[in-house]
A and B are shown apart, each in its own frame.
Chain A
Amino acid sequence: MKLLITGASGFLGNYVVAEALRRGHQVRAVVRPSSNEKRLTWHNHPNIELIRLDLRRKDGIVDAVRGMDAVIHLAAAKEGDFYTRFAGTVIATENLLDAMIAAGMLRLVDISTFSVYDYQGLPSGTTITEDSLIESNPLERDEYAQTKLLQEELVREFEQNHNAQVTIVRPGLIYGRDNLWSTLLGGKLTDNLWLRIGAYATMPLTYVENCAEAIVSAVCDEAIAQTLNIVDDNLPTQRSYVKKLKQHSYSIPRLIPVNWTLMRFIAWIMWTYNQLVLKGKARLPGIFIPRVLDARFKHFHFSNRSAKQILNWQPKYSLDTALERSCSNVELLEASSKTPALQPLGS
């Protein structure tokens, strides 16, 4: 297939492009104008065409989309204030969808996130599936969740108003090389000091190579009109994940442990005080907002059954193998071989 992949130079995008090339797809990879293509392992692959675009501006997007069979849309802003993220996530998506309509190309795999669920409204211990409640009060969530919710709304409108063939993929927290530490473990106090909140919540992780495989698989016809959660099998708890990081000699920041129930109680006290006394006008750090806290640390189970059934996908790498690969020197983004081989550490 001919695939347009946005956000190609990002953490996940890099792996998705490599996986698409391995599967023999022709890839038109959208990178930002200032991106250094030499840092992209696959930039001179015979089946790759690099397109320099900023999706926040409409110019050139229709031409980029024209002639493609499907779009895998990964581009999003993960840094900055709300309006910076709004431009990089929502307006970028709006421009892309307008271009797809103009080009008459209506097959989209949109990469959303687990952040869209209403974790506060769901009882502890629930299994999160694609049918779980969507966040009903986004203004109490962080900017990332807010903008990804708005992005999903746009994509749903696109699907309904234009009979578009849409697949929404919602990955859990994606980890991999250079991205092993997680905000699901606690709250950052300083560069090397974290508040570790809870220990026994299951982490909805997906290893980046597993996730990339699922995303490329989602261009199949069976995935049209589906929403798919992507998490790996045998998910670790916070405690077991940190333990495994230590086993792989990962440099763990200093941690101040806080019991989950105590942290939640403190957050509820502060939230209630804000609502009753301060009329909700105070802006508290995320860990003192119950809705944000629940999204990161509440105890849930997570299902990947739909993705396995519909995409015929299996997370190839276990947590142990994934960490081993992440901490090795093997080139994970090599696009020519079917599966990059694992080299011994330090080779």
Chain B
Amino acid sequence: MATKLKSAVIGTGAISKEHLSFLSECDRVHLASVCDLSKASASYAAQRFGADSIYTDYRQMLDEIKPDVVHILTPPHTHKLIASNCLEAGAHVFCEKPITPTYDEFQELCALAKSHNRWLIENQNYCFNETILAIEKLVADGVLGEIQEVSVTIALPIRDGGVFADENLPNPIHKMPAGVIHDFITHLCSLIVRFIPDFDRVSAAWSNHGGGDLFRYDDLDAIAIAGSAHARIRFSAHTSPKAFNVIVRGSKGYAETDLFQPYLRCVIPRAGELLSPLINHFVNGCDLVGASFTNFRNKIMQKTPYEGMHRLLDQTYQALIDGKAPPISFADMERTNRLVNALLSEANRV
């Protein structure tokens, strides 16, 4: 019989669907409990995904259930306290992004995890999406050459309705240092450091183009430089359509994708200087047509841009069972949060 880890989930809001659907299906997991301040919400999650018990007090849950792994899916400003309690109770922690509001708090939490010999894992799910893994392979195989430029852009109309624009019940993310952009900054930075791990210089323009009191910022335009390698980090609430573009340029060629409508365009030397542009056009065209059919199928089959999360969780649980380091290491989180911190320290400078 396969080893099973006893898991619990704290916070049963929208993102819990992605976590719970994995936990309810994975044969290495026993979904022991779900916890939420709303009993109705916890009850629904337990019934829908087959958890054994529900709690509205996570400390009581930690005492009584003694989970091996806790998924923390609450608003970011609550992460540090809850994660600390979970680590002290002997549980590994898988925490939604951003793991903490500040870099100092992140470091304190990491130190606590290490002192208790527990793993602390920040959800950096997009790094495990199919097309990002494919680009990583191109880099590893030397197809793109030496990396010279990485650009990550998220365009989302967050001011046009939805949870972030709700003035009746302002989302807690608005109180984070980067405001609503803090909800996306881990994704932006974790993808950048996947390809360019460290930086010498960072420059960031934080703007609130839409104005008003609810949003602290709605636009980020940043450049980070490491030696001769440049990274562009971009968030926009004012461009359409929705997009999550990643472009990695190397000394030999480049690869690009959109994680919301996935495709992989790879422009590389294929048959000499004369024919390469032509062949790239044909190959890229075929790839795009193929991606259109795949995306249509994925939409119907409910395969969302969160597909990387199931892969990340699967690898994480396997690593925990095998006693190995999880796929998001302390070093990965350190690099990501250091870049986030560098961008935040640039706030209001431009």
Contacts and interface: CB of A to CB of B under 8 A. Distances in A.
Interface stretch (B36-44, B222-230, B243-251, B265-273): B36-44
Given A56-B169, A91-B38, 7 more contacts: A32-B168, A54-B168, A84-B162, A86-B41, A86-B44, A150-B40, A284-B300
A84 B301 contact: no
Contacts of A32: 168
Interface string B284-316: 000000000000000011100000000000000
Interface in B79-116: none
Contacts, number: 44
A280 to B, nearest CB: 10
A311 to B, nearest CB: 29
Contacts of B13: 83
Interface in A35-93: 54, 56-57, 80-81, 83-84, 86, 90-91, 93
Q: For the side of the interface on A, what is the size category?
A: 20 to 34
Interface in B60-79: none
A278 B168 contact: no
A90 B301 contact: no
A283 B300 CA distance: 5
23 contacts: A32-B168, A34-B167, A54-B168, A56-B169, A57-B169, A80-B162, A83-B13, A84-B162, A86-B41, A86-B44, A90-B40, A91-B41, A94-B38, A139-B48, A150-B40, A150-B44, A154-B40, A281-B301, A281-B302, A282-B300, A283-B300, A283-B301, A283-B302
B163 interface: yes
Interface of A: 32-34, 54, 56-57, 80-81, 83-84, 86, 90-91, 93-94, 139, 150, 154, 278, 281-284
Most buried by A among B14, B17, B40, B44: B40
Contacts of A150: 40, 44
A332 B149 CA distance: 63
A42 B167 CA distance: 24
Nearest to B17: A83
Contact of B40 (A83, A91, A283): A91
A214 to B, nearest CB: 27
The 8 A-B pairs of least Cβ separation, nearest first, read A83-B14, A94-B40, A32-B168, A34-B167, A54-B168, A54-B169, A283-B302, A282-B300
A33 B40 CA distance: 24
Contact of B301 (A33, A81, A282): A282
Contacts of B40: 90-91, 93-94, 150, 154
- A contact face: mostly helix, strand, loop, or mixed: loop
A84 B223 CA distance: 35
A83 B162 CA distance: 11
Most buried by B among A86, A139, A283: A86
Contacts of A84: 14, 162-163
B256 to A, nearest CB: 28
B178 to A, nearest CB: 23
A83 B300 CA distance: 20
A33 B41 contact: no
A139 B17 CA distance: 14
A34 B170 CA distance: 11
A86 B12 CA distance: 11
Nearest to B300: A282
Contacts of A33: 167-168
A282 B40 CA distance: 28
Contacts of A91: 38, 40-41
Contacts of A57: 169
A150 B301 CA distance: 26
A325 B39 CA distance: 44
A282 B302 contact: yes
